[in-house]
């Protein structure tokens, strides 16, 4: 059994069903009398239901061949026996075998139509009240509504796995809304490419210059470019890109932009000599961040006459002597409502932050320590000797299933109970997250923003840290002195050399920075595997679990995809004691290191202290703890949180023995093995190399071509991001 197949039959048994996402395992009896196991998103499938399933055959290690459903054409049962089995299966709450028998005995093959269209007739059945009949009819209509959604998706060869999300968002009107505007499918939550939605719309009769189509294309361009870091697009570029995308005249697009502005969905405002076009919520976020930060800068603070004395005492207690810039940072924290503290590795950011925390506590202020990722928060907490948490968790992030939007429990109405907040790894904080954080701060709360502005910018839209520094409006201290103890680290010396445009020193292997020349791709992969599997664990005492392989790219022999296969084979080979499952071209095995590749706000987790929550985010790394015997559930532990993944969610996981430099942002590893080979020009830049080097805490091994690091260090190209925050901060200060 290989490739695609289509089977038709009647459901005999539902083996497993996830009510939240519709993932189902069922036994289908074909017309030829063969029983086939079908897996996939088939919401509320029930015994007696007929269906035609098209999908791909996959072999389960314990249960043999299964058909993984891609499209499902479902038909309600028609014969009395099938209707009886269907209703008796429990598909409708409150209807069991006895009620099912009475219904079919009374209404025969017309039973399902009566339930849906004439529920008042159901009261003729013993024990069926008018209220119960109404509830039964509503529940059945809901089921048939989901069935119509899956039929719609199957008709256009879309994955039925999005049916539940669509129904949760648009309810019983889902199909009607999709027929009126198929471009709704392009929403991030559903993940349909614009080109696919466009083909569907055109097949449904939408004209090329239909207003719905052109407006959807404009919104798509703005949304798509958020992923490229752009908060807005200049109107002329937006119009030109949209016109090219859907092959219409620019005048038509101009009209669509005007219509969207009139509807309030797009905001066009002059910014830096261009007319910037924003999605409304991004415009509001930018305006809000600028206003709150300016307010924090201008708000009068109580002058602490004893601040300098307290700083002297802190130095004595901590056994340090602050450099002038460090002391200035600590002193400014006492005076200012907001402060930006930046600097490269070895310049004393952590010592300064410790001093600020102690100073705040001596001033009687309650302090929260935050970071964008779990690993960054964990490291911050360890370095400061206090609890730190992620920004998302602190703000009480949740996902509104009806609106499809991320929401935060903490906001202006329910602010954080603290006097000061210190945020580390600010280079990773995008505009939306910054706005959410500021909304949760009381008006007099102090804010200290810590980061390295030379690292790669945030994955999300905006360049918050860079804009704050370049505005010249926000009080800032940039630490530049490399401390004597840090100067002994070749990792730190080479990081600063790269940041100055110089190639790292590769000629002489140093105590924590080594270079191994391997130009042949296959030899490079073999060396990397040997380093992780034997050489570093045996010779340097660094366990494989504390080694991270980084590559600028996913592609090619030296990209992360191929490296992960090779590393998995060496570090976590097949074993009778370890369950595994094949997912696409990837084998997932108990003990594997894996990474979440997209934000998923629906994943439920439980922490080690029993707290329940939801949300696993792009870049989170965990370990597969268990694959259940049926192969339908995969348990993954992310630091202190444990999650269960069903098969339909596994496409969001990938092996993480090797990862791209971009995915490693905000994390630090005891040892890093860095791939040095030619890659796409956009990745051959200084920021990528600098960020990669600074991920290593104790050891960095560079493997590959010795000419590549120099080429990357010399290229300081930074992708321009359209962001108005810097200008708005300056304009506010000039008013």
Contact 279, 285 (CB under 8 A): no
Q: Which residues pair with 343 in a beta bridge?
A: 479
Helix (H, G, I), strand (E, B) or coil at 75: strand
Here the tokens at position 412 are 């202006």
Contact 595, 620 (CB under 8 A): yes
Q: Which residue in the block uniquely carries the two structure tokens 């490296």?
A: 563
Note the pLDDT of residue 143.
77
Alpha-carbon gap, residue 53 to 73, rounded angstroms: 6
Here the tokens at position 191 are 């993940």
Contacts (Cβ under 8 Å, ≥6 apart) of 149:
163, 166, 167, 174, 175
| Whether pLDDT at 429 is above 70 | yes
Nearest C-alpha neighbor of 348 from the set 308, 309, 318:
318
The model's pTM: 0.83
As a residue count, the chain comes to: 735
Q: Which 8-state DSSP code applies to residue 171? A: G
Here the tokens at position 21 are 């996402």
- Read off the pLDDT of residues 85-129 as tens digits, 9 standing for 90 and up: 888 887 788 788 888 888 999 999 999 889 888 888 888 888 888
Contact 425, 666 (CB under 8 A): yes
Q: Which residue in the block uniquely carries the two structure tokens 């991001």?
A: 721
- Read off the pLDDT of residues 615-625 as tens digits, 9 standing for 90 and up: 788 888 999 99
Whole-number Cα distances in Å, 350 to 47, 363, 387, 423, 447? 62, 20, 15, 12, 16
Give mean pLDDT, residues 571-595. 90
- Read off the pLDDT of residues 169-192 as tens digits, 9 standing for 90 and up: 888 788 899 999 999 998 877 878
Give mean pLDDT, residues 498-506. 93
Give mean pLDDT, residues 727-734. 77
- Report the share of the chain in percent with pLDDT over 90: 53
Contacts (Cβ under 8 Å, ≥6 apart) of 131:
none
Helix, strand and coil in the chain, % to nearest 5: 45, 25, 30
Q: pLDDT band at residue 20, thresholds of 50, 70 and 90?
A: low
Alpha-carbon gap, residue 401 to 413, rounded angstroms: 22
Alpha-carbon gap, residue 301 to 512, rounded angstroms: 45
Contact 26, 8 (CB under 8 A): no
Here the tokens at position 17 are 């069903």
Contacts (Cβ under 8 Å, ≥6 apart) of 95:
87, 88, 103, 136
Note the pLDDT of residue 399.
64
Angle at the Cα of 281 from the Cα atoms of 278 and 283, rounded to 5 degrees: 45
Alpha-carbon gap, residue 75 to 190, rounded angstroms: 25
């Amino acid at each position: 059994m290989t490739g695609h197949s289509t089977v038709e039959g009647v459901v005999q048994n539902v083996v497993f069903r996830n009510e939240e996402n519709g993932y189902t395992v069922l036994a289908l009896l074909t017309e030829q009398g063969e029983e086939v196991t079908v897996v996939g998103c088939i919401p509320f499938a029930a015994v007696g239901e007929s269906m035609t399933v098209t999908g791909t055959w996959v072999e389960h290690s314990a249960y043999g061949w299964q058909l993984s459903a891609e499209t499902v054409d479902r038909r309600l049962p028609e014969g009395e026996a099938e209707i009886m089995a269907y209703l008796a299966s429990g598909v409708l709450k409150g209807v069991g075998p006895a009620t099912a028998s009475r219904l079919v005995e009374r209404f025969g093959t017309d039973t399902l139509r009566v339930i849906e269209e004439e529920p008042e007739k159901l009261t003729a059945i013993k024990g069926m009240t008018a209220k119960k009949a109404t509830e039964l009819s509503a529940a059945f209509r809901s089921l048939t509504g989901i069935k119509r959604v899956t039929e719609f998706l199957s008709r256009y060869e879309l994955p039925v796995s999005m049916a539940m999300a669509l129904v949760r968002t648009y309810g019983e009107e889902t199909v009607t809304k999709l027929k009126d505007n198929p471009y709704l499918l392009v929403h991030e939550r559903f993940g349909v490419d614009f080109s696919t939605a466009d083909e569907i719309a055109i097949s449904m009769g939408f004209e090329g210059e239909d207003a719905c189509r052109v407006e959807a294309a404009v919104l798509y361009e703005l949304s798509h470019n958020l992923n490229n870091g752009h908060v807005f697009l200049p109107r002329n570029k937006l119009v030109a890109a949209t016109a090219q995308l859907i092959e219409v005249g620019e005048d038509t697009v101009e009209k669509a932009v005007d219509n969207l502005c009139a509807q309030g969905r797009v905001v066009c405002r002059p910014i830096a000599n261009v007319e910037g076009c924003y999605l409304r919520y991004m415009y509001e976020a930018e305006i809000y961040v600028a206003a709150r930060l300016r307010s924090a800068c201008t708000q009068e603070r109580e002058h602490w006459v004893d601040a300098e004395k307290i700083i002297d005492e802190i130095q004595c207690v901590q056994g340090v002597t602050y450099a002038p810039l460090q002391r200035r940072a600590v002193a400014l924290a006492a005076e200012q409502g907001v402060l930006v503290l930046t600097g490269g590795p070895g310049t004393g950011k952590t010592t300064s932050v410790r001093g600020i925390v102690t100073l705040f506590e001596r001033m009687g202020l309650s302090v929260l320590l935050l970071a964008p990722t779990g690993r960054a928060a964990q490291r911050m907490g360890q370095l400061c000797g206090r609890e730190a948490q992620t920004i998302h968790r602190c703000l009480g992030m949740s996902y509104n299933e009806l609106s499809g939007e991320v929401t935060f429990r903490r906001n202006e109405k329910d602010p954080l109970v603290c006097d000061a907040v210190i945020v580390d790894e600010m280079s990773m904080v995008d505009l939306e997250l910054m706005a959410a954080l500021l909304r949760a701060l009381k008006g007099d709360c102090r804010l200290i923003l810590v980061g390295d502005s030379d690292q790669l910018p945030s994955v999300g839209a905006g360049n918050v840290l860079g804009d704050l520094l370049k505005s010249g409006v926000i009080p800032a201290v940039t630490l530049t002195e490399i401390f004597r103890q840090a100067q002994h680290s070749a990792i730190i010396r080479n990081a600063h050399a790269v940041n100055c445009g110089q190639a790292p020193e590769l000629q002489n292997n140093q105590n924590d920075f080594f270079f191994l020349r391997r130009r042949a791709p296959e030899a490079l992969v073999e060396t990397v595997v040997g380093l992780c599997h034997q050489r570093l664990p045996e010779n340097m005492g660094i366990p494989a679990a504390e080694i991270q392989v980084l590559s600028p790219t996913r592609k090619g022999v030296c990209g992360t995809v191929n490296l992960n296969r090779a590393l998995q084979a060496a570090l976590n080979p097949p074993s009778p004691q370890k369950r595994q499952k094949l997912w696409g071209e990837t084998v997932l095995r108990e003990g594997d290191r894996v990474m979440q590749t997209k934000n998923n706000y629906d994943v439920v987790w439980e922490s080690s202290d029993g707290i329940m929550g939801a949300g696993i985010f792009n870049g989170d790394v965990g370990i597969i703890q268990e694959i259940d015997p049926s192969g339908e559930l995969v348990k993954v532990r992310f630091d202190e949180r444990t999650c269960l993944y069903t098969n339909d969610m596994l496409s969001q996981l990938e092996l993480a023995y090797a990862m791209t430099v971009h995915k490693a942002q905000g994390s630090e590893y005891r040892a890093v093995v860095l791939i040095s080979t030619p890659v796409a020009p956009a990745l051959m830049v200084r920021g990528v190399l600098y960020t990669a080097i600074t991920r290593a805490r104790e050891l960095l091994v560079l493997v590959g071509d010795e000419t590549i690091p120099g080429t990357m260090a010399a290229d300081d190209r930074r992708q321009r991001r359209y962001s108005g925050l810097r200008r708005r901060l300056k304009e506010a200060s000039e008013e």
